Amino acid sequence: MDKHLLQEINRLHAEICGGLSDAHRIAILYTLAEGAQSVMQIAEALELPQPTISRHLKILRERGMVVAERRGTTILYALSDKRIIRALDLLRQMLNDHLERNAHLARVAIK
């Protein structure tokens, strides 16, 4: 394998995959796809405690997936790149196709 490609794969795993390794963080990203929001707005939307949201936002910020902007006394969080939602949607489609194939195989096996 090309050394450059292997380095990119390692960076991808460290940065992106680590950020997506928790369902709450993915839910936060989808919430932010609707627009910039405060920690409390995200917490209310996801029905999770504010400290939990703050902890996950820190990880997403460290990985460059979200950005924070101070507006007065409020800090608003936003996606750093909207392509992350397209990537997540593609992964969801792949998962859905996989589940449909498995369901089809189960139906065939039952007959």
Q: Is residue 31 part of a domain?
A: yes
> Which of 12-21, 55-64, 97-106 shows the lowest mean pLDDT across its residues?
97-106
- Report residue 4's pLDDT band, with 50, 70 and 90 as the boundaries: confident
CA-to-CA distance for 17 and 11, rounded, in angstroms? 9
What is the residue type of 83? R
CATH number at residue 49: 1.10.10.10
What is the residue type of 93? Q
Count of the separate structural domains present in the chain: 1
Q: Is residue 101 part of a domain?
A: no
Q: Which two tokens stand for residue 25?
A: 């963080």
pLDDT of 53 above 80: yes
pTM of the model: 0.85
Q: Is residue 102 part of a domain?
A: no
Helix/strand/coil percentages in the chain, nearest 5: 70, 10, 20
pLDDT of 76 above 90: yes
CA-to-CA distance for 68 and 63, rounded, in angstroms? 13
What is the predicted pLDDT for the residue at 81? 95
Q: Is residue 90 part of a domain?
A: no
Q: Which domain range does residue 14 map to? A: 3-80
